Amino acid sequence: MPYVEFLRVRRIFVRFAIVIVVIVGFTLLSFYAAEMPGGSHGVSVVVGEGQGSSATSQVQSHSLGDLLASLSQIPIPLNGILTIPMIVATIFASLIATSLNRERSVLALIFTKPISRERLALRYFLTDLAGIALAYLLVLALAIAVPFATLGSRVHLVADGLSPWVAILGFGMAFMWFGVLQALTAWYRGNGGAIVGFAWPAAFVLLFLGQTDAFGPLVHGLLLVLNLINPFAYVNGISESGMLSYYAALSLPVRAVLMYGIATLGCAIAIASWNRIEA
């Protein structure tokens, strides 16, 4: 029942939001504590090192505030900020990506309602995606608000032509992870959380194994194929600076199409397998 999924997503979102707000609160508190008279001055500037000696001489120490006060404008790249909601929304997507699998114990309740299984699953997905979008926007808002709250109006967000794509791919990563996890768990009669828990390290292992040719061209090719459904393989070169691997080397529009396409395909596979499940 879509209302059940609404209640579930709302419940998870509220807990998630509390954790995020607490983390931001601690961040702000620690910043202001460092700025208070007698507070710890956290930045040490090393200006010299004794020749032939292991001793390091610390001749001058400034507070972070002193350093920042010397700047009339503090430029902060928006693309960097956008990676924060991307990662956090992906984590949130993991929390709700087993929505079909979670219903395995109540199939007799939800499959005897006047709504088709396909339509029900679609309503679940729309509710889940709305939750992911909300999580993304909440974290984005906080990620932008924190620099202003700590550094004041001198903060200058620097966007470039890539910024809209970074935002699209950022949400796309959460969506793709959601779709892949749905496809992996919807058919499963056990606890889908175990698959999600395994999927995170598996994604990173796949990503890093593929960086090397040590296992020969066959294994490398296999890893390339497996990484096609690994959303992390699409974004590590998102800034297009330096570390380009796998599909991150593709153009941003192609990556976006692939990520959103695979996410949609994952959801379709999940619906098809859920449709065949017996109570």
Partner 1 sequence: MNAIAIRDLVKSYGKQRAVDDLTLEVDEGSVYGLLGPNGSGKSTTFKCLLGLARPDAGELAVCGSPVTPATFEYLSFVPERATLCDWMNGADHLEAARRAYAHYDEARAAELVAIFKLDLKKRVRKLSKGQQTALALVLAFSIRPRVLVLDEPSSGLDPIYQRVVLDLIIDAAAGGGTVVFSSHQIGQVERAADRVGILSNGKLVLQGDLDTLKGNRKVVEAVFPGEAVALGDLARDPRIEHITQNGRIVRAYLYRDPEAIVAAFNGLGARSVTVFDLTLEDMFLDSVEKRGK
- Closest distance of CB 11 from partner 1, Å: 8
Other CB atoms within 10 Å distance of the CB of residue 119? 11
User: Tokens representing 9?
Assistant: 């997503």
Of the listed pieces 38-46, 111-119, 213-221, 251-259, which binds partner 1 according to CB under 8 A?
Answer: 111-119
CA neighbours closer than 13 Å in the CB half-sphere of residue 69: 6
Q: How far is the CB of 17 from partner 1 (least distance, A)?
A: 18
Contact pattern from residue 240 through residue 279 relative to partner 1, giving x for each residue in contact according to CB under 8 A and a dash for the rest:
--------------------------------------xx
Minimum CB separation of residue 193 from partner 1 in Å reads 14
Q: Which tokens sit at 227?
A: 């990484």
- In the chain, the largest separation of any two C-alpha atoms, in whole Å, equals 82
Does residue 71 interact with partner 1 by CB under 8 A? no
Does 55 bind partner 1 (CB under 8 A)? Our answer is no
In the numeric block, which tokens belong to residue 141?
Answer: 């808002």
Q: Does residue 200 belong to the site contacting partner 1 (CB under 8 A)? A: no
Least distance (Å) from partner 1 to the CB of residue 6?
A: 9
Q: What sections of the chain are H helices per DSSP?
A: 2-35, 64-69, 78-96, 99-102, 107-110, 117-151, 163-185, 192-209, 216-226, 232-235, 252-275
Helical pair 163-185 and 252-275, crossing angle rounded to 10 deg: 20
Among 47, 108, 214, 225, binds partner 1 (CB under 8 A): 108
Please give the residues from 1 up to 30 whose contact with partner 1 meets the rule CB under 8 A. Answer: 1-4, 7-8, 11
Cα–Cα dist 241/252, whole Å: 13
213 scored as a contact of partner 1 (CB under 8 A):
no
- Report, in Å, the least distance between residue 83 CB and partner 1: 33
Residue 113 or 156: which CB sits closer to partner 1?
A: 113
Residues 6+ apart with CB under 8 A from 224: 210, 246
Q: Is 231 exposed, middle or buried (0-12, 13-18, 19+ CB in 10 A)?
A: buried
Closer CB to partner 1, 74 or 122, in the complex: 122
Binding mask 86-105 for partner 1 (x = CB under 8 A): -------------------x
Which parts of this chain interact with partner 1 (CB under 8 A)? 1-4, 7-8, 11, 105-109, 111-116, 119, 278-279
